[in-house]
Amino acid sequence: MTKHEQYLNLFDKGGNLIFVIKINRVIDSRVSGEIVKDYRSPQMKSIFDQYEACVNDQLFALLDDLERQIESMGINLEPGQPPVTNLQIFDRNITFEQA
pLDDT tens, the chain, 99 aa long:
556 899 999 999 999 999 999 999 999 999 999 999 999 999 999 999 999 999 999 999 999 999 999 999 999 999 889 999 999 998 899 999 997
pLDDT of residue 90: 87
Q: Is the pTM of this model over 0.85?
A: yes
- Separation in Å, CA 79 to CA 15, 18, 37, 96, 99: 5, 11, 18, 17, 13
Contacting residues for 61 by C-beta, under 8 A, at least 6 apart:
none
Half-sphere exposure of 94 (CA within 13 A, CB side): 25
Query: Which amino acid type is present at position 92?
Result: R
